Amino acid sequence: MPHSHTRILTAMAAALCTALGLGACSLGPVDFDDFLMTTSVAEARAERVAALEQVVDDSLLKQAGTLTVGIPAVESVPLAVAMSDGSRAGMDVDTAHALADALGLTSVSFVSVSEIPSALEESCDVVMGVAADGSSSVTPTGDYAQSATGLFTTQDVTAPIDASALSGASVGVQEGSISQRTMANLETGATETTFANLNEAFEALQSGSVAYVACDAYAGAYLQGVYEGVTFAGTVDDPIATGIVASSDELASAIQTALETIQSNGVNDIIRSRWLSGLPMLTESTKVSGIVVREPEPVEEEEPAEGEQGSEDDAASEDGTVPEGESGDQGAAPEQDAGTGDYSGDAYAEDYSGGEDSYAEDYSGDYYSEDYTDYGYTDDGYTDDGYYEEDYSYDSYY
């Protein structure tokens, strides 16, 4: 039972003793479920599982009666986080459990995924967190999350604000993040202030050192629940829908139906409220009004001097062959940012670019070193008091 609930029930029982004239009574060991004649979480879970009716054939699943869910290795809080006991928590985890319920499946298992097609073939039924932006070789089903750069402030505003509010304002960004590059491409008139990580940026926001923080909207919404007085002010770019990829068309159809079910029965709202501090669905209507994209500066090409021709070091010969000594690649492709590609890390890795250590598969050690260093969640009740395991466990909503 959550600690806060226990304290409340203890107070209620003590008040009852007083009301009955038993002011000095000793409660002794009390079964609060019996005391209030309520159904325990364990009983509620058992009843829920017993009521499930499976709607997908076991032939579509890697393991009968179980939805095996792939979690991209690049995902981070609030989508996915590994707990100290080895279990997983996060928006994707809660969504997967809700989808399994809607599919009538009695259990869910999770695997870490680095390459989607092979994972779907070998180890999992579905993969969460796939962007519907054409960056992946697979097409996701549904739209349960969105990726965009958001603005957060301590001012009393209603999202979305007007872009004119940014003129002359100081905006904090994480050094080297996608959000920093996004803001640099906008005509805002704002002054940029850089920070090593988002926690430092939000601390500066809370202290009044900066007027806004620009970061991934979901990461910011999660931190909004930690830093008192912070509010969402809008997004500055078009949101990218994030969906789920299934191992077969038939399972994808069932997942789409299940997703529509949890989005209409209120379960998805509960999940978003828990992890995103009430952040609304990101759409065109959440975009800051009047945002102007900076026009790229024209690049002037130098004309070769009269009589000069391009050397064969610069191009292939006229017959299409590659000059001797050069590879057919004609130069390597630019290296992608951590978290982009199949998993649209804009949403969850863009402010977490700390190299491989930041995305260790076991989500331990330096995983949070880039953006969640010394974040103080333990003191704020996000770990030690059972925030995930007890107060807000998925089963507690049923």
Average pLDDT over residues 349-358: 37
Rounded Cα gap, residues 122 and 108, in angstroms: 17
Alpha-carbon torsion (241, 136, 148, 125), positive or negative: positive
190-230 confidence digits (pLDDT tens)? 999 999 999 999 999 999 999 999 999 999 999 999 999 99
> What one-letter code names the amino acid at 316?
A
55-79 confidence digits (pLDDT tens)? 999 999 999 999 999 999 988 889 9
Which band of pLDDT confidence, cut at 50, 70 and 90, is reported for residue 19? very low
- Name every residue whose Cβ is closer than 8 Å to that of residue 380 and which is 6 or more positions away in sequence: 226
For 16, 30, 226, 389, the CA distances from 9, given in Å and listed in that order, are 10, 10, 26, 20
Residue 213 C-beta-side C-alpha neighbours within 13 Å: 35
List the one residue out of 190, 168, 178 whose CA is nearest residue 237: 178
Average pLDDT over residues 246-257: 97
113-170 confidence digits (pLDDT tens)? 999 999 999 999 999 999 988 777 888 999 999 999 999 999 999 999 999 999 999 9
pTM, 2 dp: 0.66
Range of lowest pLDDT (97-106, 112-121, 336-345) = 336-345
Q: Is 203 exposed, middle or buried (0-12, 13-18, 19+ CB in 10 A)?
A: middle
DSSP class of residue 388 equals I
Query: What confidence score (pLDDT) does residue 304 get?
Result: 61
- Name every residue whose Cβ is closer than 8 Å to that of residue 236 and which is 6 or more positions away in sequence: 148, 149, 150, 151, 182, 183, 186, 214, 287, 288, 291
The residue among 48 and 347 whose pLDDT is bigger is 48
Whether 293 shows a pLDDT value over 80: the answer reads yes
Rounded Cα gap, residues 163 and 171, in angstroms: 13
Ramachandran assignment for 33, one of left (phi > 0), alpha (psi -120 to 50 degrees), beta (any other) = alpha
Phi and psi of 291, rounded to 5°? -65, 130
Contact between 349 and 76 under an 8 Å Cβ cutoff? The reply is yes
Rounded Cα gap, residues 10 and 180, in angstroms: 50
Total residue length of the chain: 398
| Average pLDDT in the chain | 75
Helices (H) and strands (E) in the chain, counts: 10, 12
Tokens of 384: 């030690």
Query: What confidence score (pLDDT) does residue 121 get?
Result: 96
Rounded Cα gap, residues 24 and 27, in angstroms: 10
Q: Where are the domains of the chain?
A: 3-38, 46-146+241-278+374-397
Rounded Cα gap, residues 303 and 349, in angstroms: 42
The residue among 139 and 186 whose pLDDT is bigger is 186
Average pLDDT over residues 253-258: 97
Report the percent of the chain where pLDDT is more than 90. Answer: 55
Fold classification of 46-146+241-278+374-397 is: D-Maltodextrin-Binding Protein; domain 2 (3.40.190)
